[in-house]
Structure 1
Amino acid sequence: MTSASHRLTLALLTVAGVSFAIMQTLVVPSLPFFVKEFDTSAAWVTWLVTSFLVSSSVLTPILGKLGDAHGKKKLLVISLGIFGVASLGATFAPNIGVLIAFRALQGAGAAIFPLSFGIIRDEFPAEKVGLAIGTVSSVFGIGGGVGLVLSGVIVEHLSWHFLFLIGAVPVLISTVLIAKFVPESPIKTPAKPDYKGAAALSVGFASLLLALSEGTEWGWMSPGVLALAAVSATALAGWVAIERRVDDPLVDLESLLKPAMAATNASTVLLGFSMTAFFVLVPGFVQADGFGFGLSPTNAGLLLLPFSLAMIAAGPIAGALGTRKGRVVPLRIGLALGAASLAGLAALHTHEAWFVLWLPIMGVGMAFALAAIGALVIDFCRPEETGVASGMNTIMRASGAAIGAQIAAAIVAAHPQTGDGYTIAFAMAAIGLVVALAPTLVLTRRRASAPALAQLAPA
């Protein structure tokens, strides 16, 4: 590939990633609206976020493994196609149940990231791999921030149907362009998807998250919640047994135990947990009357503009810093800044000026952490494992995100009509990022080996 081809490929992969990330958070500020629109509970509306994350966790490694076996570009086009069609379907959903189902189908789009990382590693020169992966990784947060800003404007001045239509159009356009202009990766590894493992993992996650979402209403020791917890534990235990027995597991448990990869994934779980809690908490707080600011959906989105702009500016800086100084440097900076911002939101959020002050700090922190995570995963795996390793990391982030969303919502629901729930939930998210710093000590000891591993990428 020529330099021009590299730039075009990176641009198309970035557009696809931004489109997916926007769709992940575009509905979040509008969750209170959907409660009224469909006359349903806040717990069920939260499944518009959670179903997306659960399906992402399960479908990403399957599509990643199929990409390793049959061609990363081919599966990327399929993944984007499913995502685009599901977005169109969500546009015309007649009720909350159908909308949740289409949101779950949209989760196939999460494979954009591991498949894109694989294409970059297979096609780009070694010296450009880190910066390119950092760029694509950072758009996860950039798109998420843009989605938070646009959501209120769309709902208040257009219609909720446009939330999904706006997500579908760029995805379908980028699908056609990627099919035409992005070359197929030359590295392929025969593999058979682990559908039994995927089914067990789906049941385990869904049961756990349903228990978390309904615990406040049903009672945490109610028969329903206890039954769901038992189903979840049984299914997840069965999943582990399946993964140890099958030839091509959904998740390579041995790889997860390797120090560098285990540390990276541990930080990723907590990053997803805290970041998604932030995404769920902020719109609800700023739109709340009394203890919040009582903002309209449009003004709530505009309030988040500093966060989005900070992410856009910081993403490329984080990728360049990681290439020069080692990936762990931007990761630790990002986690520390994120923790400081969330702690600030927990302690000082009574005035809009104080609240807004913390948002660009959070934006820079998330851009740095996300850019570093994507590159670290690639550094610590062989080229033929790129799809599976990146898929596993996406599972970790989506799992943490799903749990973070549900726990944050449950804490707020347990403290109605007061801001105490938000204070507790922001503090919880801050603690999550502080704890996420601990695994980076392992990465510090192995930092010197990362550049060498990155050279495994073929020119």
Structure 2
Amino acid sequence: MASEVRRAHHQVTFTVLTAGVGAYALLQSLVTPVLPTIQADLHTSQDTVTWVLTAYLLSASVFTPIMGRVGDVIGKERVFVATLVALGLGSLLAALAGNITLLITARAVQGIGGGVLPLAFGIVRDEFPKEKVSGAVGLLASLTAVGGGFGIVLAGPIVNALGYRWLFWLPMIVTFAAALAAHFLVPSSPVRTPGRISGLPALLLSVWLVALLVGFSEAPKWGWGSGRTIGLLTAAVVLALTWVQVERRAAAPLIDMRMMRLPAVWTTNLVSLLFGVGLYGAFAFVPQFVQTPSSAGYGFGAGTTQAGLILLPLTLMTFALGLVAGNLARRSGDKAVVLAGCVIAVVAMSWLAFAHTDKWELYVGTGVLGVGFGLAFATMSSLIVSAVPASQTGVASGMNANIRTIGGAVGAALMSSIVTSDLGPSGLPAESGYTHGFTLLAGALAIAAVAAAAIPATARRRHLVVGGEPERSPDTPAQAAPAAAAGGPGPTVEGPADRERSAEKL
């Protein structure tokens, strides 16, 4: 009976976490296909309306690791609730926005919701039976790609039936419901890291991320050789180096640099960066290719809804492979699964670079790409969670998600520059621009495969169960890292009820 109650509790918790992560993932891409509609309705320019995307990207990049760290310190459940409330309030403000300035502000508030992913990973690690952590983390991670794909697919039908403001009303309803459910149903965090949040590292992290992402996002428009682009990217490098030095010397670092140097962490983060390049590039430019009028000599003149459907195979396969990635990792090892995902993604992206004649070719390409993304995303997040101490789960997984976002900004900017480098008489890009762009993305994923080959093979031992507990090798970072690595005393267990719950799990 106790086992059944415990299992029901984990399922309820996971349902709540899924709703929160799913709402955030949808909001990443829901507005992408309807920017022209928003531009016309709010009487603004094309350059200005792109900040509806950029503001969300910048805010999420700043708040994802910070909210993860705050959750590690004061409790993941309460910060998860606060993050969902911010996401819901941002959605409400966006739905009511009567001008572009208010809408951009609302999107920046929504970006705080980026913290839901690392916080959800931390809650899973704290609350789930150890043998189920890998599968749950992998499925939540795959939801980021699934939600991004579904956002593009669903945007057209929602706008056609209800209007573009329902792109914010619907996620708001789901988000507030998830926040309420999390408050009452998700247990308080038993693992915490006593300490404080240092202001200077957080400020430096925010500034260099903003400089980097604005530089890459605006480079296709400003020009890669313009003074603004070079100035921002140079400032980003200088500030990032300064941030690293400040973090290394801080008594209570926001992000422990020793943790970031763990072999399983830095290699997985590198793979995540390069997969971000491929994922965001595909999301942005596969629909654009399909929407190109056939009079350009390629493309299919598809509408918003039909263009989104091209990504449906990617979304479905990412979700399906996210469900089985944990079992595959237990059998073959995390490294093998990530490497397989990279190789499959390279093949699919190479196919997309040249297969442009019929729509079925694009459906096949995006479907196979979803297989690669599903295997890699699910397993990478599990690798990060298992590679660090429990007290650093939130901030470590937050940085991993953030690095993927940075990769996305880089990939989208490079792809945009390549595709638009050769415009035809009609002002439309030449087909060769897409061929070269998707080839570049395939190259990035090929480098990701090389990085995946460097992931420590010992990581696979964390998923093997011996005598009811996962077997850990003596050099497993999560076991060997001292409590001081968290920037303070070791993690604490909160209250008798939490201790009883932890004892029940064991």
TM-score (norm 1): 0.93
Rg comparison, structure with higher value:
2
Secondary structure of the corresponding residue to residue 2 of structure 1: helix
Partner AA of 1:302 in structure 2 = L
- Which residue, out of 391, 394, 402, partners 2:401? 394
Q: In structure 2, what is the equivalent of residue 312 of structure 1?
A: 319
- Which residue, out of 443, 447, 450, partners 2:462? 450
Alignment of 1:235-254 (within 5 A): 235-254=239-258
Contact in 2 for aligned 1:20/1:109 (Cα 8 Å)? yes
Q: In structure 1, what is the equivalent of residue 183 of structure 2?
A: 179
**In 2: Cα distance, 1:335 partner to 1:264 partner:** 12
Partner AA of 2:243 in structure 1 = W
**In 2: Cα distance, 1:380 partner to 1:122 partner:** 15
**In 2: Cα distance, 1:351 partner to 1:342 partner:** 16
Q: Deviations over 1:330-369 (max 9, x none)?
A: 2122222222111111111232121111111111221111
Q: In structure 2, what is the equivalent of residue 67 of structure 1?
A: 71
Contact in 2 for aligned 1:276/1:401 (Cα 8 Å)? yes
Matched, 1:435 2:447: yes
Distance 1:178 1:20, change over 3 A: same
Distance 1:192 1:355, change over 3 A: same
Cα deviation for residue 313 of structure 1 reads 2.1
Contact in 2 for aligned 1:54/1:402 (Cα 8 Å)? no
Contact in 2 for aligned 1:53/1:399 (Cα 8 Å)? no
Q: Deviations over 1:117-173 (max 9, x none)?
A: 111111111111111212212212221221121012223333211111122111111
Structure with more contact order per residue of length (Cα contacts < 8 Å, sep ≥ 6): 1
**In 2: Cα distance, 1:173 partner to 1:277 partner:** 32
Secondary structure of the corresponding residue to residue 455 of structure 2: helix
Partner AA of 2:227 in structure 1 = P
Partner AA of 1:446 in structure 2 = T
Cα deviation for residue 379 of structure 1 reads 1.4
Secondary structure of the corresponding residue to residue 193 of structure 1: coil
Partner AA of 1:413 in structure 2 = T
Contact in 1 for aligned 2:21/2:116 (Cα 8 Å)? yes
Q: In structure 2, what is the equivalent of residue 201 of structure 1?
A: 205
Partner AA of 1:131 in structure 2 = G
Distance 1:180 1:63, change over 3 A: same
Distance 1:199 1:94, change over 3 A: farther
Q: Deviations over 1:415-447 (max 9, x none)?
A: 331233322221121111111111222225323
- Which residue, out of 388, 412, 422, partners 1:415? 422
Q: In structure 2, what is the equivalent of residue 53 of structure 1?
A: 57
Q: In structure 2, what is the equivalent of residue 263 of structure 1?
A: 267
- Which residue, out of 367, 384, 393, partners 2:391? 384
- Comparing 238-247 and 127-136, the one that deviates more: 238-247
Partner AA of 1:19 in structure 2 = A
**In 1: Cα distance, 2:460 partner to 2:329 partner:** 12
Matched, 1:83 2:87: yes
**In 1: Cα distance, 2:305 partner to 2:189 partner:** 43
Cα deviation for residue 34 of structure 1 reads 4.0
**In 2: Cα distance, 1:157 partner to 1:125 partner:** 43
**In 1: Cα distance, 2:205 partner to 2:150 partner:** 31
Contact in 2 for aligned 1:43/1:213 (Cα 8 Å)? no
Q: In structure 2, what is the equivalent of residue 363 of structure 1?
A: 370
Distance 1:223 1:304, change over 3 A: closer
Matched, 1:333 2:337: no
User: Structure 1, unaligned stretches of length 5 or more?
Assistant: none
**In 2: Cα distance, 1:141 partner to 1:253 partner:** 28
Contact in 2 for aligned 1:68/1:191 (Cα 8 Å)? no
Cα deviation for residue 26 of structure 1 reads 1.3
Alignment of 1:277-288 (within 5 A): 277-288=281-292
Matched, 1:99 2:103: yes
Cα deviation for residue 404 of structure 1 reads 1.9
**In 2: Cα distance, 1:132 partner to 1:445 partner:** 22
Distance 1:215 1:402, change over 3 A: closer
Partner AA of 1:412 in structure 2 = V
**In 2: Cα distance, 1:380 partner to 1:302 partner:** 37
Contact in 2 for aligned 1:50/1:402 (Cα 8 Å)? no
**In 1: Cα distance, 2:394 partner to 2:263 partner:** 19
- Which residue, out of 405, 412, 416, partners 1:405? 412
- Comparing 9-18 and 415-424, the one that deviates more: 415-424
Contact in 2 for aligned 1:207/1:231 (Cα 8 Å)? yes
Cα deviation for residue 329 of structure 1 reads 2.7
**In 2: Cα distance, 1:43 partner to 1:260 partner:** 40
Partner AA of 1:429 in structure 2 = L
**In 1: Cα distance, 2:51 partner to 2:256 partner:** 28
**In 1: Cα distance, 2:163 partner to 2:145 partner:** 25
Contact in 2 for aligned 1:204/1:235 (Cα 8 Å)? yes
Distance 1:218 1:40, change over 3 A: farther
Contact in 1 for aligned 2:33/2:156 (Cα 8 Å)? yes
Q: In structure 1, what is the equivalent of residue 163 of structure 2?
A: 159
Contact in 1 for aligned 2:222/2:229 (Cα 8 Å)? yes
Partner AA of 1:64 in structure 2 = G
**In 2: Cα distance, 1:361 partner to 1:350 partner:** 18
Contact in 2 for aligned 1:344/1:358 (Cα 8 Å)? yes
TM-score (norm 2): 0.85
**In 1: Cα distance, 2:42 partner to 2:432 partner:** 28
Contact in 2 for aligned 1:277/1:404 (Cα 8 Å)? yes
Q: In structure 1, what is the equivalent of residue 355 of structure 2?
A: 348
**In 1: Cα distance, 2:125 partner to 2:222 partner:** 48
CA RMSD of aligned residues (A): 2.3
Cα deviation for residue 266 of structure 1 reads 0.7
**In 2: Cα distance, 1:33 partner to 1:285 partner:** 19
Distance 1:237 1:39, change over 3 A: farther
Partner AA of 2:191 in structure 1 = I
